[in-house]
Amino acid sequence: MTIEIELYDYYRSSASYRVRIALELKNRSYQKIPINLKTGGQHELSYRTINAQGLVPALIIGPKVLTQSLAILEYLEEVYPDPPLLPRNPFERAEVRSIAQIIACDIHPLNNLRVLNYLKHEASIEEQQVSDWYQHWVHEGFLAIEQKFLTSAGKYSYGSDITFADICLMPQVYNAKRFSCDLSPYPTLTRVAENLSLLPAFTRSHPDFN
């Protein structure tokens, strides 16, 4: 029996974009349910009953709900192991997770919509300073990733196989470009992102096609 999968999603949400890429790579068909973050759909009671945090994504698998994109990636990896998105070797798996977490735990949460909105509307910080804030945290994270890529990167973030690191990298690069971050100090990261952008699973999950 095939389990029905639904994804509460916003096309420009990088956390949702991660899950879209993973579902494509795992060849899973799924139904998208759009939540418009621009008009506050994430705060509606009907959505809060699905994700109490009021954040996308939320994955519906049969009768169950799963939130948090990294937890969703881990779940998909365990349930649909083919193709693998983590290396077999435990140390290498941890290294891949380490790159993914630089993005998902140390860049993205500081630059999330609700954080930028808080800075603008509650802390009354000027537009330019909010933009500087965004770029600062991308720069800190990308600098560390560029350094790690000197030893880890091949065609992709970790050698020549697609991993969680790539799934997290692509949406963050898309977002950084939207916020006019200068990517010239990160040539390896940029090269990896260009390679990823050529893959059908990454093209199909890109915000322009969602």
Name which position in 8, 24, 47, 69 contacts ligand GSH (CB under 6 A).
69
Name which position in 7, 20, 30, 68 contacts ligand GSH (CB under 6 A).
68
- The closest of 14, 7, 6, 26 to 85, measured between CA atoms, is 26
- The closest of 140, 70, 72 to 105, measured between CA atoms, is 70
What is the DSSP code string of 64-128? EEEESHHHHHHHHHHH--SS-SS-SSHHHHHHHHHHHHIIIIIIGGGSSHHHHHIIIIIS---HH
Cβ-proximal residue to ligand GSH, closest one: 114
Note whether 163 binds ligand GSH by CB under 6 A. no
- State the Rg of the chain over Cα: 17
Owner of token pair 């720069």: 139
Name which position in 7, 23, 25, 55 contacts ligand GSH (CB under 6 A).
55
Minimum distance, C-beta of residue 121 to ligand GSH, in the bound complex (Å):
12
Residue 156 to residue 184: CA distance in whole angstroms: 18
Note whether 172 binds ligand GSH by CB under 6 A. no
Residue 73 to residue 77: CA distance in whole angstroms: 6
Nearer residue to ligand GSH within complex by CB, 58 or 153: 58
Minimum distance, C-beta of residue 200 to ligand GSH, in the bound complex (Å):
23
Nearer residue to ligand GSH within complex by CB, 111 or 195: 111
Note whether 56 binds ligand GSH by CB under 6 A. yes
Of 20-28, 63-71, 159-167, 187-195: span binding ligand GSH (CB under 6 A): 63-71
Nearer residue to ligand GSH within complex by CB, 107 or 153: 107
Answer whether the bond into residue 185 is a cis peptide, omega within 30°: no
Note whether 192 binds ligand GSH by CB under 6 A. no
> Between helices 187-197 and 127-152, what is the axis angle to 10°?
90
- The closest of 94, 104, 85, 96 to 14, measured between CA atoms, is 104
> Binding pattern to ligand GSH, positions 103-142, x when CB under 6 A?
-x-------xxx----------------------------
Minimum distance, C-beta of residue 168 to ligand GSH, in the bound complex (Å):
9
Nearer residue to ligand GSH within complex by CB, 158 or 164: 164
Using CB under 6 A, list all residues that contact ligand GSH. 13-15, 37, 42, 55-57, 68-70, 104, 112-114
